Structure 1
Amino acid sequence: MKNVPTGQWKRIDAIVDGALDLEPELRAEYVRKECAGDRELQKQVNAMLGAGDVAGAFLENEGPEMLGEMRDAVRKAVEEDEDSLSGSHVGPYKLIRPIGRGGMGQVYLAMRDDASYTRYVAVKVIRRGMDTDEILKRFRMERRILASLAHPNIARLLDGGATEDGLSYFVMEYIEGQPIGEYCDANKLDVRQRLELFRKVCGAVQFAHRNLIVHRDLKPSNILVTQDGTPKLLDFGIAKVLNPNLAGYTMPMTSLDMRVMTPEYASPEQMRGGAVTTASDVYQLGILLYELLTGSRPHKTEGRSRKEIEEMVLSTEPARPSTAISQISPETANTRAKRGGTPGGAVESLRKTLSGDLDRIVLMALRKEPDRRYASADLFQEDIRRYLEGMPVSAQTDSVGYRARKFIERHKVGVAASTALAILLIAVTVLAVRFALVTSEQSQRIALAAAKTEQVSRFLVSTFQWANPEFSLGETVTVPQLMDRAVVQIDQELAGQPELQSHMLMELGIAYREMGEFDASERLLTRALAMRRADPETPRLDLAASVFQLGVLREWTGEWEEAEELFTESLALKEAEVGRQDALISANLNSLGSIHAYTGRTEEARAMFDEALAIEAATAGTETRIYSEILGNQGWVLHDEGLLNGDDAQLEAAERAYQQSLDIQLRLLGEQHPNVASMYNNLGSLMQDQGRYDEAEAMHREALALRRSIFGDEHSRVANSINQVARALYGQGRIDEAEALFREALDHHLVSLPPGHPFTARGRALLGTLLVDKGEMVEARRLLREALAVFRSSLPDGHPWIAQAEEAMAAANTPAE
């Protein structure tokens, strides 16, 4: 297939992509229809598919024995065919010699060899024996990823296609350079120069992240530096695509996929087979910086087995870079100091340079918990910039509260107890940070702050020791039992310390609320607020926090009028303390705007969301959880207004806002997060309202599955998702299936929410409307009457839920003809 025009390649690509997503027996007919009589096109497509058909069953079984066979096949292919293509042509490119090798393909130095011009390029060709369906899809995904990334520090894609015998290939710019570590050593770059070079690498990684691509294999050999000092990021062969529009095909997370990594540079979550997000790339960037600064990796993996490396990465904390440079032999240390351009080549001088801020920056990127690392590659490089400019950095050492948590984890707390622990220890972190800020002005109060924080840590340790089998005598300790015990201990051990006691009560109240235990949450949040109102020494922001958290509970329980009063009060308290332009204000405006949206005041809601978005962007940036939530709420208002006005442009703007919000959340929070489920739900609702019922059903089922995995079966959010799936089925005319789900959702809502909650009434109205269509008027009228009674007492006149229920009631009361 020589000299195939670019336009023809695009057609071939599109057809092959579609065929690979079908069962093998359906492909021939699909190709025939898509090629529409173009025999040459059909021949070219079949050539690219043919090799995959020969080895079609290779990866059907992904057990350890099949992985062994796969390794043997790769080894054999390497031994027999490593240089088999040298001297041959692929398209207009002559392959000169192999210059690299990966898990899927061989990379050749090549030269464009036609009348157009002469140019050296790098050509990656899929290996013989590796051209199965799954590998072909991954290989083509790498090509698609590179096509989407135009950045000065990422190797560019130039061309692509297939050889005459059907082996896929793509063509990249040829980077004549050295791996980044070798470049730094050969050119004797000092610490500052290495940091500046590393910042450019972070910029390339951040660009990929903005395009929803996680590299997953960042290491020195995949970052070449050219003679003029330009770093180039290579090899997206195992990259993960978070953007379904780019992916076209979603690569399944199989046992094979989890093993595709470089263990020495893998993050803890990669080792565990957990969710891989942009935080995994931040971790690998941390390893890279550690190696650039010290000459060694944070874990001594040389000569160790995969299992030993995994255990080390998951359980061992790396030494500080300044310590690592001191722990190696004097000869090696002096060599590293000299090649690093340290004045005089002294190890002590390098150690002093690394100690302090650089130690903290590197170790923050290497934290084992993804949510405790830098939130983005951009924030990582920004902290380095601040260090280089002599400014304070954001990276800090672990708090007392965090160390307390690690102590508890070492004492084998049960799974249920660990869940509660993760919720409750927020309290320690907040207290530690706040005390440090409040007391930094006066040294005598610093000691008091440390004592208070340590006391909270001891309190939590004593609480969670109850889950230790030594104390529980082998009985299973449930989350509610553990939290109830914590309440008792708060009263016993923190009595006479209203500041600590009220804070812990509030945090426990939040934990109960998140679990859907609204009565217990009500008791604790109300009590914490009363204590803070009664204490004239309560800091204003603490009082505002208690008012706000009780407002969130009122929002969740459908008491929207009281929620609005509480959010308004907390906003006034915060504004009096920090002014209007603060991230605390944007979060509060977002919650207040939500109440306006719930109650049909979309104009006021839109104004609040607009202001909140502007404040958050100016004070915290656009890559924050709050920013994504506000953006999603903006989409909510546009969605409602678009329906009310019949305005397709507003609905399209709503979908863009929802999608942008989802993109940020996927980058920051990963795929297994409640906020991601909520955004799937919003997108599904929009599709539903546009009559895209099949798409809506798929999106709502995704949200439902995610919520069930997070909350279990009895949570109100799960019931909300069941209702949404039922709405999509109803729209498709699948009445009986929809009715069963509407009834299931209503049963869940009656258990998980107060009887007068608008969501419960909404469930009655949806079921009643369906029963009208079925002609079951008696039950329909009862359900609609109950729903309207709640709507009229809690929602303003003209709310769409009222109008829809009244319309259904009118139909139910109309005599049959």
Structure 2
Amino acid sequence: MKDSQWEKIKTIVDTAMVLAGEEKESYLKTACQGSPDLLKEVQELLRSIEESEKINFLEPLSGRYQELIVADMGNNAENTYTGATYIGKEFGAYRILESIGEGGMGTVYKAERTDGEFHHTVAIKLIKQGVDSKENIRRFKMEREVLARLNHPNIAQLFDGGVTTEGIPYLVMEFVDGVPIDQYCNKHRLTIDERLNLFKKVCAAVQYAHNNLVIHRDLKNQNIFVNQNGVVKILDFGVAKLLADPLDGTTLVETQPGQRFWTPQYAAPEQVKGAAITTATDIYTLGILLYKLLADAYPLDLKEKNLMEISRAVQEEAAVPPSKKIQQEDLKTCAYLRRISSSELVKTLSGDLDALTLKAIRKEPEYRYHSVGQLLDDLDNYQKKLPLVARNDTIKYRIGKLFRRHKMGISVAAVFLILAIGFAVFYSYRITAERTQAQLEAEKATEVTEFMLGLFEAGNPNEAMGDTLTARHLLRLGTEQARALNRQPEVQAQMLGVIGRAYYSLALYENADTLFTQALQINRQTYGEVHPEVAKSQRNIADLYRAQGVFNIADSLYSEVLVMQENLFGKDSPEIAQTLNSLAITLRHMGEYETADSLYNKALTIRKTSLGTSHPLVSESLSGLASTRYFLGDYETSENYYREALQIQRNTLPENHSRIATTLNDLGALLDSKADYEAAESLYLEALQIQTALYGDVHPYVALTMNNLAVTMANQGKMKEAQETYHKVLEIQRKLLGEQHPRIALTLNNLGMSFYFNGDYASAEPYLREAVVMSEAILDKNHPDVGSNLNNLAQTLFNLGQLTEASQLQERAVSIHQRAFTKPHPRLARSIHNLAKIKVKQHLFAESERLFLEALEQRVELLGNDHPDTQTSFRYLAELYDTWNKPEKAAEYRALIASRND
């Protein structure tokens, strides 16, 4: 083989080894364009390197490639691997557990400490087999030196290092159990502001590294993880370049020509053309990362381009602003993942964020931000609505920023509100020489403030009593006025919170999110990290996450609030009870029914002690307890709690209050489960009448009650009406909650089951599959709802004759429900019963009998002999014994059925 051909192969392989997935495949096709033989040779070499953990390196290759690689490796007698794998081997005090990743130069393993001093999980990185040349070993040792200098909470820490018996250096580093930053942002549906805050932590860590004379040079999303606690960790300084060695004043050797230690989509122009690498290079890659977090895309389209075209595009092609790019991509999905409307997302990115991002990725290093610190300053300026370095510093621009920061202070809309707030601000801050007069003005300001807060409370649906158009108009004006109260931060935060709660009640979650976040920031700046107002603001944000189905974040936020409130108020305060109740709701949605039940009980005890036994908040905790008893299968206790709560509410609240509607809906669901369909339908209709009067026809609460009403319709055989209702519910939910939400999964499941009960299994299947996929993506894999959705899909496939898949899904459903319910439960009984049906088809009669009897025992205990589910168990047992040729047993169960029909 010619040297030129071998060099070309090495160059392509070198670049491909730092890529993954579609990006890697696309690069290989373009780099080997027009040469199938070249592509085959490159793929063969890559496959050999990737399989080196399983078989001896180079064995699959022909002799000519072995010779070429060995010749390139340098000093191969000392550095070539002799073992097939490192799994199970010990490096110092650590034992290798598994391979968790690899890059162009190193393989990373998960390992644990073995010396018995303490338990410690780490990541160990060493040069991968086949690229352990002297130069790469030198680079690998350099990584150890680099990481040893860096001690920052957002940089993966270096613990130790050494050399294997084969002479290969390795590093023992912090194990980061997380996902790439872009995946984390989308998984948790972080807002633009939340993404910026996370990105600022990355910038701060990079700035720290620069201050320690270290450039990363490969700050792609795959090298920046966020762990389960939301902490950013920058990984892999293996291709970092020291700006200067503080020990001797010399610089490290530059990367050799032809070696590529960069990823095409993140490559700065100076990297592509082999120019000097400086801190500006990291600023460029930070800009690309920011672009990805904002727009879920890259500024340049490098797909299907060869190396020459990539090089030209990186150096010459103008980047599309993020606000334009998202309109070329899947704008709707991008907006959903940022909890914002499509139009608002485009508006948010346009202007300052476009300019800021594009400045960071300028082709010319000298026109980028001069430092990461300057980039951070501009990010802060953006969030504070101050002028940016990235924008032209014109009078027009600065006046525009001033106007946006003080919009209502210089507008003339809503005269009454302006006068009211104007008097509040004027009286609060009027400078006067007379102390008594100042005191009088302050008292007036307090009165005006209280009046305004009462006015905005009227925007809450329970106060506005359905006049939502007027309420929303008032809230919109009030929001603008509140933002003008910069000199009264305490009042401003209070008003923003009140208005945010009203928006929250109207299911206008984007508006509420903005106001809650602003209120929290103001309160923290005003009071510090621990204060009653800070706790209240954070609880509001937790409520918002819960409403949007992001239960894990809500859980974390409520837990933090509880710690804060215990320090502030003690363990038995009304504030603690409210947060306990909210956390219990979250855990109930997460399927942790026993824990939720305990928290509801604690909240109930506190509220009865401090408020008496007939307070509306006591009824709230009673309703919560009723819900957990319902999900735990204790229907009798659940009904008693619901009826007690409803009685308190009817005695203490207006007849059209939302809490009454919620309890009516929940009690209806319980009666539906007890097969009392007429009573359930009556309660749903009463709840809907209240909810539509309060919220209008488009609201999550309205959709939830309509969904339950459709279930009852289906149970009564009104399939067409039920299906029409389900479709209306889906329309409302998708409009308000996006494309993925636990309630949408529930509606899809119920819609599918309406077709199932009508015998139309083919129509049921796609809805049930979508429900399974969505619930598995949103909820924990062992959530009871996932088990129920699997059960329903399994039975549909069973009726379609797809026995193998049905059996597998049904086994999973039983396993999930057995884990979730340690006592008899209707859902567990249903899953076991349905598995027994499949076993009959498989002619496993003894196993089927055992399962049918187990399900029957639970149903009799929970529901009694007269319930339709119990009657179904009798019927299936009779049919099993007929099939099994045991007529006496069959007659026994048929007699039970007959006796119940007399």
TM-score (norm 2): 0.45
TM-score (norm 1): 0.49
Q: RCO higher in 1 or 2 (8 Å CA, sep ≥ 6)? A: 1
